[in-house]
Amino acid sequence: MSNALATISPDQLPSTQIGNDEAYVELSKGADFLGRLQLFTKGAAIDEGKIPPGHYGIPEGEKIIDLGTSIDILPLARRPKALDMSDKEAIVTTYDQNSDEFKAIAEKSFEQNSGCQYGTSFLVLERQSGRFLELFFGSKSTRPEAKNIFPYLPLTEADIKARGLKDVEPHGPLPVTLKVRLIKAKFSWHVPVVQKCSTPFEKVPSMAAIVKEITKFITIKNDGTEKVAEPAGKKARAR
């Protein structure tokens, strides 16, 4: 039977699916949450050999998809974000830069080993995986690099007028290459480096899918603060 199967030519077969490939990507999703794109430099994932230091990766449960030291992204949207991971059982995320919660997390982030970060969170399309992902520049060494992505975000005529920009034209998202630089001081760590990408993205999701993801990304629910539910019986953290 195996020899017979080997002789089957795909050209002789009828269509083998109903609908297009994008429909099956949507059907294959688990929980409806945005994956995370991360530059790994230190920590348990590296210690356990899941990914080398200085590589970009996508955490997927117990494994990490290794994307290497150079990746291409298409930045689609941005939002402020503050993240408090000091209590792993009550992780707090807030997107309201004017809230007391955000300001408290930002202030706490300057304490050593605080478990807190704040900065710019981007919605991006990553070329290798073809996935929408969140890229968060929340540490002291990554926050300054975030501004180098700003010019590559979509720019509308309304944006130009609102910001009082001169000598610029409206444009869609522009491709960016992210590389890696090693910082050597008392301790060493890796930081992202933003570069212009000359290779266009030829395979992108439908406009409807892009609009849907951008809308979800910039829509602030409730008071703009999300908190991971704590196990039963444990006292909830105050917001």
Does residue 133 lie in a domain region?
yes
Considering its fold, how many domains does the chain have in total? 1
Predicted local distance difference test score (pLDDT) of residue 192: 96
Does residue 215 lie in a domain region?
yes
Predicted local distance difference test score (pLDDT) of residue 194: 97
What is the residue whose two structure tokens read 């059982």?
Answer: 89
Residue 34 pLDDT greater than 70, yes or no: yes
Predicted local distance difference test score (pLDDT) of residue 26: 59
Contact assessment for residue 95 and residue 217, using Cβ atoms and an 8 Å cutoff? no
Predicted local distance difference test score (pLDDT) of residue 20: 73
Predicted local distance difference test score (pLDDT) of residue 236: 40
Residue 225 pLDDT greater than 80, yes or no: no
Mean residue pLDDT across the chain: 86
Contact assessment for residue 181 and residue 72, using Cβ atoms and an 8 Å cutoff? no
**Alpha helices (H) along the chain:** 2-6, 21-27, 44-47, 100-108, 143-146, 157-163, 207-218
Does residue 26 lie in a domain region?
no
When pLDDT is averaged across residues 191-216 and rounded to a whole number, the result is 94
Residue 235 pLDDT greater than 50, yes or no: no
When pLDDT is averaged across residues 34-44 and rounded to a whole number, the result is 94
Residue 188 pLDDT greater than 80, yes or no: yes
When pLDDT is averaged across residues 169-182 and rounded to a whole number, the result is 95
Least confident range of 36-45, 155-164, 224-233? 224-233
Does residue 2 lie in a domain region?
no
What CA–CA distance (Å, rounded) separates 90 from 100?
18
Which one has a higher pLDDT value, 56 or 43? 56
Does residue 163 lie in a domain region?
yes
What CA–CA distance (Å, rounded) separates 178 from 39?
10
50-89 pLDDT, tens digit per residue, is: 999 999 999 998 999 999 999 999 999 999 999 999 888 8
Does residue 194 lie in a domain region?
yes
Does residue 13 lie in a domain region?
no
Q: Give the pLDDT band (50/70/90) at residue 237.
A: very low
Domain ranges, residue 221: 32-227
Of 43, 75, 45, the C-alpha closest to 58 is: 45
What CA–CA distance (Å, rounded) separates 213 from 134?
11
Query: In sequence order, what DSSP letters do the residues of 77-90 get, joined into one string?
Result: EEEEEEEE-SSTTS
Does residue 14 lie in a domain region?
no
CA distances from 16 to 10, 19, 21, 206 (A): 10, 10, 11, 22
What CA–CA distance (Å, rounded) separates 237 from 5?
60
